[in-house]
Amino acid sequence: MTTQTTSPSPLSTHTPQPSHTAPPTTRDDAARLSAAIDFVRHQETTTLLALLLPGLDGLELRALVDRCRFAHAGLLVFPPDLPALRTELAAHGLDADAAPQPSVVVRERLASRHRRDAAVLDVGILRPAVSGPEGEQRAVEVFVLAVPPGSDLAEIAAHERDRDHEAHLAFEVERPDPLVLRGLWSMLVRHGAVADGGGYNPHEDGTVFYFTAPADSKAGYRRLELYARGDHRQVLAAHLEDHQARQPAETLLRLLTGAWTTQALAACAQLRLCESMDTDTGIEVAALAREVDAHPGNLATLLRYLAMLGVVAAESDGFRLTALGRLLRTDAPGSMRPLALMYGGPFYQSFALLTEAVRTGLTGFEHLFGENHFDYFVRHPELAARFDQSMAASARMFDPLPLHPVIAAADAAPEPRTVVDVAGGTGELLRRLLAARPNLRGILLERPHVVESARGSFAASGLDERCTFQAGDFADVPAGGDVYVLSRVLHDWEDERCEEILRHCSGAMHADADLLIIERLLPTDGSPSLATAWDLHMMCNVGGRERRADHYARLLAAAGLRLVDASPLPLGASVLHARKADAPAHLPSARDEATSTGHNA
C-alpha cells in the first residue's frame, strides 16, 4: 500500500488551479472537514480531471467526462462520538441524520496499516449532500472512526490526520460494465495513476477502485477513486493484482510469517499477559516477567512483536494493553482467548499436516491424533470446554440477528413463538435472541455435557425459565418450533451428512416454520474472503467445508426446503433463510426489509 507523507494536505485546495493555497495551520477535523466541503462546492468535473491527469489529450478527456462525473471528496475523521460530528456538519448546513453505513474498504486498509484487528475498527460512512457550482448533486464522503477521550485509537487518529491516507477525489462511473471499467482503468494507468487497493462493499453494493494520482497531478489530492455501483469484483481482482505485483517480495514475506503471528497471540494467551496488564498505565518488562513467570529478555522480544500487531502499546512507563489486546483477556466481553488457544494449539499442530490432507483426503487432525476432533475432544474435557468457548468467541456476528425479519415477526406474534437452536453449543446465539426478543421461547439441542454447561449460562442471564434444554443428536430435532437455527453446523460436514441434518430439521418443521442457517459463504468470483480461509481450515482440521449460496440451495432442495434469501452478518458470515419447499412466502425476506426501510439487513 502506498504511503504518502510529504505532500501538503489535499484539503487545503479550494480552487482547481495549479498553484495552491497553503495547508491549514491546524490539523484538527473541523478544519479538514471545512476545506473538503468548500472543495466539493467549487469544483467542475472537466477541469478537475485535467488537473488530476495532466497528460490527457482532448479526446481522452472527453471520453472520461462522458463516462464519469466528480461525485465527492472523501476524508477520514475521528470525532469523540457521532453526535459531535453531526453538530459539526450541521454548522456547515449539511444534513447528516442518516445512519452511517459500514465501511469495509477503509476498515480493512486501517487494519492493515496499523496492524489492528479489523473487527475493533468500527468505521462508518456518512455522505451528506453538497451542491456543485451548477447545482449538481454531490457529497462529502466522511469516514468516521469514533475516538473517545482516552481511547487507545488516539495514536491511529493522530497518524491519519497527519498523513491523510484516506483523503481522495471520487468519480462515479455512469452505466458501468466490465468493458467500460477496464477501459477507464487502462486510461488512468497509462497516464501515471497507480493502483492503490480497493474493494467491494456489500452493505451498499458498490465497488471501489483506488489509485495514487500521477506525480505531476495538480489537483492537490494524492489519491483518486473510481466508484461503480454494483458488484464488479472480476475487474477489481485485476486491479488488486496490479497493486500487489508492485511489492511482491514484501508481500510474500508477510504471508510466510503468518504462523509467527498465530503463535505470538497464542503465547500471549497462554502466559496470560493481558490479565497482568492495564489499558491506562504501562508495566515494565521486568515486573511483567515476574507476574507471568517469564524470561525478561525473551518476553521483551515477544512484547515488541505484539506491539507491532497492536495488541499492546509501548509507553514511556512500559507496555500498555490496547483495546485489541483486551479481547485476549479471559474476563473480557466476547473474549477471543479460547480461539487463540485453539488456533495456536491443537489446530495449529494439525495444520502442519496440510500437505498430507491435500494428498490423502483425510484431515491433518486425523493424521496427527488418530481420530476426528469431535471424538478427540470428548476424551479430553479441557479441550472440549475450550472448543465450546471458542465457538462463543465469535458472538459479535450474532448482533444483527435479533433484527432479522424472521425473528422480528416471531417476536411480534400474538402468542409466544419457539426458537430451536440445533447443535447450538453453549447457547450464546439463543441467549442473545431471547434477551432481545421478550416474546420468544427457546429450545437448545446439544450433547449432554454441553447442555449442562449451557444451563448455568442461561441461569446466570435469568433466561433459564424461557428455555428448554434437550440432550441429543441431530436425529432428535424437536418438532413444534417456529424458527429453527443451524449456526456454523453444516460446514462441519460433507454434503451427504448435511442433507441428513437438513432432512431432520425439515421433518420437525411445521408448514409455516422458518430455518435460519448461519455460515460463511464462499464468494462466487474468487475474491478475497474469510470463508476461503475457513474452507482450508475446515478441510485440514475438521473434515468439513465452506460453500457458496447456490450450493446450500441445492442441499436444502434435497431435503424438501427452499432458500428464500441470504443477508450479510459481521465477521464475514451470512444468514440464509429457508422454508419448506411448498410453504407460502408470507414473511418479508431480509432483502425486502432492507429495501423497505432504507437499511441493509
**Cα-based distances in Å from 445 to 228, 293, 423:** 45, 42, 5
491 is catalytic: yes
Nearest to 12 by CA among 3, 2, 31, 505: 31
The three grid cell numbers given for residue 365, joined into one nine-digit string:
487432525
Assigned architecture for domain 257-322: Orthogonal Bundle (1.10)
For the stretch 106-147, pLDDT in tens is: 888 898 888 787 777 889 999 999 999 989 999 999 999 999
For residue 236, give the H/E element and its range. helix 233-245
- Amino acid identity at 62: R
CB distance 44 to 219 below 8 Å: no
Instruction: Compute the distance between CA of residue 25 and CA of residue 32 in angstroms, rounded to an integer.
Output: 10
The three grid cell numbers given for residue 524, joined into one nine-digit string:
462466487
The three grid cell numbers given for residue 277, joined into one nine-digit string:
496488564
Residues 6+ apart with CB under 8 A from 247: none
3-state SS of 296-310 is: HHHHHHHHHHHHHHC
Model pLDDT, residue 162: 87
Count Cβ atoms within 10 A of the Cβ of residue 6 and give its class: 0-12 exposed, 13-18 middle, 19 or more buried. Answer: exposed
β-bridge mates for residue 212, sequence order: 194, 223
For residue 443, give the H/E element and its range. strand 440-446
Residues 6+ apart with CB under 8 A from 533: none
Model pLDDT, residue 5: 30
User: Domain segments of the chain: what residues?
Assistant: 10-250, 257-322, 333-393, 396-597
Model pLDDT, residue 7: 31
Instruction: Compute the distance between CA of residue 343 and CA of residue 360 in angstroms, rounded to an integer.
Output: 23
Q: Is the pTM of this model over 0.85?
A: no
Which residue is listed with cell 485546495? 13
Model pLDDT, residue 247: 65
Which residue is listed with cell 432479522? 404
Instruction: Compute the distance between CA of residue 539 and CA of residue 534 in angstroms, rounded to an integer.
Output: 8
Model pLDDT, residue 585: 58
Instruction: Compute the distance between CA of residue 185 and CA of residue 174 in angstroms, rounded to an integer.
Output: 14
Helices within 310-447 (DSSP H only): 323-326, 337-343, 346-351, 354-360, 364-369, 373-378, 381-392, 405-412, 428-436
Compute the chain's Rg from CA coordinates: 26
The DSSP annotation for 9-57 comes to: PGGG--SS-SS-PPPPS--SHHHHHHHHHHHHHH--HHHHHHHH-TT--
The three grid cell numbers given for residue 230, joined into one nine-digit string:
454494483
Assigned architecture for domain 396-597: 3-Layer(aba) Sandwich (3.40)
Model pLDDT, residue 356: 93
Residues 6+ apart with CB under 8 A from 98: 126, 127
For the stretch 558-588, pLDDT in tens is: 999 999 999 988 888 999 999 999 876 555 4
Which residue is listed with cell 514484501? 250
- Residue from 232, 243, 491, 577 carrying the catalytic annotation: 491
Model pLDDT, residue 389: 78
The three grid cell numbers given for residue 198, joined into one nine-digit string:
480497493
CB distance 312 to 284 below 8 Å: no
Number of continuous H segments (helices) and E segments (strands) in the chain: 26, 18
Classify strands 514-519 and 574-580 as parallel, antiparallel or unpaired.
antiparallel
Which residue is listed with cell 448546513? 93
Which residue is listed with cell 436444502? 556
Model pLDDT, residue 6: 30
Residues 6+ apart with CB under 8 A from 503: 559, 560
Instruction: Compute the distance between CA of residue 196 and CA of residue 410 in angstroms, rounded to an integer.
Output: 46
Secondary structure of residue 269 in the 3-state scheme: helix
> In the chain, what's the furthest Cα-to-Cα distance?
75
Secondary structure of residue 279 in the 3-state scheme: coil
CB distance 485 to 429 below 8 Å: yes
- Amino acid identity at 400: P
Which residue is listed with cell 499436516? 353
Instruction: Compute the distance between CA of residue 129 and CA of residue 141 in angstroms, rounded to an integer.
Output: 9
Assigned architecture for domain 333-393: Orthogonal Bundle (1.10)
Under CATH, to which class is 10-250 assigned?
alpha beta
Which residue is listed with cell 492493515? 112
CB distance 117 to 327 below 8 Å: yes
Instruction: Compute the distance between CA of residue 103 and CA of residue 437 in angstroms, rounded to an integer.
Output: 28
Ranges of residues in the chain whose predicted pLDDT is under 70: 1-27, 246-247, 250-251, 584-601
